[in-house]
Amino acid sequence: MNPPAVIQLDHVYAHPPSAVWKALTDPALHAKWWAAGDVRPVVGHRFTLDMGAWGQQPCEVVAVEPEKLLQYRFATGTLDTTLTWRLAPEGTGTRLTLVHEGFNLDSPMGRRAFEGMKPGWPGVLARLGTALGA
């Protein structure tokens, strides 16, 4: 039995944490760089992300520290992973750390998701930078 797999990435943006936070938590901005959905920084808030060919993915916010941390369960009931976004000031910009964890590599779906998302996340983070006006 394999331990759950984790994807972790860091990206530095030339924008303050408030701007990066807005891109993570404003539904209109979020749709520009990743997926449409009613994401809100409120613990317990349930929302769905439209992942196109991968369908509608239910999510639930589990932790919030404004401009520092947003954590939510992703694809609840199927993939059952957790996304954690940590923001830290770095110079005049922001270091964003993404941790996507809980991939069950013993499940064919979990393994496919991990193998697809691991190389896909860097492009998503680059699009976030474009949405910020990197």
Query: How far apart are the C-alpha atoms of 13 and 39, rounded to whole Å?
Result: 21
Which helix (H) or strand (E) is 19 found in, with range? helix 17-25
**Mean of the per-residue pLDDT values for the chain?**
95
pLDDT in the model for residue 18: 97
Instruction: Give the domain CATH number at 80.
Output: 3.30.530.20
Q: Which residues have a Cβ under 8 Å from the Cβ of 123 and sit 6 or more positions away?
A: none
pLDDT in the model for residue 53: 83
Distance of CA 72 to the CA centre of its chain: 8
- Predicted confidence band at 26 (pLDDT cuts at 50, 70, 90)? very high
Residue 51 DSSP SS3: coil
| Number of domains present in the structure of the chain | 1
Residue 114: which domain range?
5-133
Buried b (16+ CB within 10 A) or exposed e, 87-109: beeeeebbbbebebebbbeeeee
For the stretch 76-118, pLDDT in tens is 999 999 999 999 999 999 999 999 999 999 999 999 999 999 9
Tokens at 86, concatenated: 């940590």
Alpha carbon distances (Å) from 82 to 8, 38, 62, 100, 129: 12, 17, 9, 6, 22
